[in-house]
Structure 1
């Protein structure tokens, strides 16, 4: 069975577009189950969507509290395992502002025969620029320590995030940087993918991969990638699979104190679990 999970939070119109897109791009509907996890406090809008998409292979889930992005994926995974005996061949977790551009995306994943491949990193377009491969190599202990220091203070973090925002904009506009991304061949082994869409293979779950430990938001890329490394698996880049992503549609691009708190909490968890 192939599982696709879309997470909704207070933007049902975007989620409706995501469901329609998935329906149009995944052709083997009989072996694909779409979960829509509603993290909103008010469930009425999503329940209207449930009535509109009243189909056997689309399941709407309503957790009692906002579980965050990865937590919503873990919730859907557990629901499937509790109610089905069939193994998962593919598990795809997507932001609701992600659009699949490739036809027959499930068939493209099925071409991967190497059991070591636990995650596939697709070509992901943001503002027309491919952001994958997102993390080519593992972050060093020194890198994580520097960010521990930066995240110790909200105002210091705001300054650093502002500088990074300018730098990232320059990188997007830099022709050489674009060419470096475009010239990465398919099947290249990398450390991690951009968290807007995770494509996990059955090997990830068979060897004990988890989705339910991470704090509320952020840190998803390192969390999944570290598990894959510890299990002896790999993340493989595949430019034949193409997605687009609006970016920060739920929380926005500015560093609010809430966003800062979530990033700090996730970073603290990652350092304690993987960098001690």
Structure 2
């Protein structure tokens, strides 16, 4: 299933994408797409619904973040060896963990707001994992059973805030609009191999990132297992798993986003995002 949320910011409603690309309302069955909805029992109930009988929603409707009421937004840094190299950093021996503020979450096609005093605004296409049930001390072999699905994430970053203002990355990762997720949450049963998904990102029509999850240092199942050794994971939590090479920081010379730039990014089977950079008012 391709689950989504649509409507004005803060008033999103639950929906599902049918086989013809139509958005259908799920309001009759669930109040939102969130941690509660993502239990195995609820997902099985939704899979039994005759989607063709559901009301069709206007195709021009705004798409919100594909998961609502997110408790934790966890990210893995330097998880592609070639991206670590372009960043001038060593490949970590264990996953490099940081968080994005949940207030950074935005819709897949919402504007990216360049923060005040920002001069190194960057992009990162990433595969995001959405947790489906409470996870604690899970083995890597069993970790996939705790994943509800996957979505596209743009891990928008401000490199000055991230790398030049102390040792903590979070300042450059958690600004408002720095976490577009969606357009859909694709349930685990529709993703045959999360270790082999092509991914790409363009800025103003030029391709900068063209990678595949098969070059990850730490694979999705390992990441879920690893994180569960240090914190419990709850349904609806998001884990963004790192980016392939081609970010602005890695260009020669470095290239950063500015107001008016347009970003398009996507992952095989998980849909496409389109964003415009705007100046903070």
TM-score, normalised with respect to structure 1 = 0.29
Structure (1 or 2) with the greater strand fraction: 2
With structure 2 as the length reference, what TM-score do the two structures score?
0.28
